[in-house]
Structure 1
């Protein structure tokens, strides 16, 4: 299976972000064939005010129903280009909160599953910037895997990467590939992004497809914030097999299930676990 991680530089304008995503997807597919497209975290609205975030969020339909602008864009890309689409994550309206939600479509435009980010980013980065996702976002509580083109895929989002118990649960649920859209901060990303992804890949013996945002966006008060980018694909031995450059673009790699099986057979980590 050929997987592409799309790297974007989104802002608070949902229409402009959708246009950027469309251009990147069409540019990639004009060059090469892939089976699965992966977008970044919250690519429809990064930054802006609380009101702006709520305005960009969507009420998700029951599977088979008609959704909002971003939902239908993702479904349309799957159908028009005959590919699986992992929609990174978008804002899902949930009363007084927004859920940070991944949606996956097959080439027929059918929804395969949803994952709602479990771990919320309430931290202070080394440069002193504070992040309080829980002020706006609610947390999910479900471990999600699904089948894409015969491969079992586990779903996670951004800050989840720091909690290895989630990824052990995904591996135990049969995951062979884990998809992780993100908007990693520049301050944390430059030190931890690749290290954490490679560690989780080695621990779980899974492929990782991690799609990130890059560039500068602005919060509602005008404060600039930078995200790290460096979208990448990692194999089950922890090697980075594809990586995007600094700006908008993509990285593509083939998921080799025979290699996964070999790594797991030679080092059967699940059989050797004693404490969890």
Structure 2
């Protein structure tokens, strides 16, 4: 199964972000013919403050009913290219708060998974910049998996990666590959991005598929930077595909036989004693 990670430099113009995603996915499909593509975290909006996020937010429909512009764009992309679309995440409008939510569509445009980010990014970065995701977003409370092309996938988003118990729970739920769409900050990304992605791959013996945002964006009058370096790591922890700087995509073949061999030769799940 071939998977492409799409790397974007999205901003606060939702219509432009959707158009950019459509163009990048079309280029990946023409060049690499993936069976599944995955987008970054909040690919329809990055920056512009609370008002921009609220404008970008969509009320998600009951599966099978018509949704908002991003929802329908992902459905159309899936049908047009006859692929699975893992929609990174978009801003979901809830009753009281927003949610950072993943949607997955099959090649017929049918929604097959929905995941709300569990762990919220309330930290102070090494440069002193504060991030308070919980001021605007609510957190999810359920782990989510779905199947495509005979492989079971787990859903996570960005800051989730720092909580290995989440990934162990997905492995125990049958995951063979796990998505981590991200907007990793430059300051944390340069030190932690690849280390964390490879660690989660090694611990869970899963493929890690991480589409990320790159470049800079404006937030309340200040410029912020995100790290990019979208990647796919195999269950042994090798990075087998990686994006360069700037927008683009990278593609890898997920080999189920490799997953089985790694798990057979080092059965760490059977050996666990403390969790």
Instruction: Name the TM-score, length of structure 1 as normaliser.
Output: 0.99
Per-residue deviation, residues 235-260 of structure 1 (Å, max 9, x unmatched): 00000000000100011000000000
Aligned runs of 1:40-119 on 2, under 5 Å?
A: 40-119=40-119
Residue matched to 1:252: 251
Aligned runs of 1:1-276 on 2, under 5 Å?
A: 1-219=1-219, 221-276=220-275
Alignment partners' CA distance in 2, 1:24 and 1:216: 18
C-alpha deviation, 1:52, in angstroms? 1.4
- Flag structure 1 segments of 5+ consecutive residues without an equivalent: none
CA contact (8 A) 2:32 2:251 kept: no
Per-residue deviation, residues 182-234 of structure 1 (Å, max 9, x unmatched): 00000000000000000000000000110000000011x21111000000000
Helix, strand or coil: the match of 1:215?
strand
Alignment partners' CA distance in 1, 2:22 and 2:145: 26
Instruction: Name the TM-score, length of structure 2 as normaliser.
Output: 0.99
Per-residue deviation, residues 6-34 of structure 1 (Å, max 9, x unmatched): 00000011011111111111111121211
Helix, strand or coil: the match of 1:190?
helix
- Flag structure 2 segments of 5+ consecutive residues without an equivalent: none
Helix, strand or coil: the match of 1:20?
helix
Aligned length: 275
C-alpha deviation, 1:103, in angstroms? 0.2
Per-residue deviation, residues 30-77 of structure 1 (Å, max 9, x unmatched): 212110000000010101121111110000000100000000000000
Alignment partners' CA distance in 1, 2:43 and 2:113: 19
C-alpha deviation, 1:149, in angstroms? 1.3
Helix, strand or coil: the match of 1:182?
coil
Cα RMSD over matched residues? Answer: 0.6
Helix, strand or coil: the match of 1:54?
helix
